[in-house]
Amino acid sequence: MAEGLTKLLYPKQVYTRSCGVFAGERDPFVDSVMDELGMDLSNHHPKTFEDLAEEGFDLIVTLAPEAHHMALELTRTQHVDVEYWPTIDPTVATGSRAQIMDAYRAVRDTLKRKIEQRMQ
C-alpha cells in the first residue's frame, strides 16, 4: 500500500520501491482498498529484501519491527535514513468482509497521512 500511495501522491517526484521480510502473494483486500482510490495494482508483485538489492536510497520506511531490524542490518554500511512507522497489520483483522475492509482502509488512510506529512 505504501508504495502505491507514494506513487499516486508523488508520481514523478519520488523514486519508490517496496519489499517485505517474507515472500508472499498479493493481498486481494489491498487490491480492493487501493482500487477505491483508482489505483490498479494488478502489475505489482510482492518482493523481498533479497529481490530489492538496489542501493542509493535516501530513506527507507519500515512498517513492522522485523522489517525495521532487517533494514538496519542490511544498510549498516550505507548512508541512508531508516524510519520505523509502527503500523497495524490488517491481515489479522477478523469479522465480516466489511469489517476486514474497514481495517485495511484504516491502514491505507493512516499511511497516506504519514506519507503526506513526511513529504512536506
The model's pLDDT over 28-81, given as tens digits with 9 standing for 90+, comes to 999 999 999 999 998 888 898 888 777 788 999 999 999 999 999 999 998 999
Does position 23 have pLDDT exceeding 90, yes or no?
A: no
The C-alpha angle with vertex 81 and arms to 34 and 72, in degrees rounded to 5, equals 90
In this prediction, residue 3 has a pLDDT band, given cuts at 50, 70 and 90, of very high
The model carries a pTM of: 0.91
Q: Are strands 81-84 and 59-62 parallel, antiparallel or unpaired?
A: parallel
CA 66 to chain CA mean position, Å: 14
* Cα distance between residue 75 and residue 81, in whole Å: 9
| Structural domains in the chain, sorted by start | 2-115 (3.40.50.2300)
In this prediction, residue 24 has a pLDDT band, given cuts at 50, 70 and 90, of confident
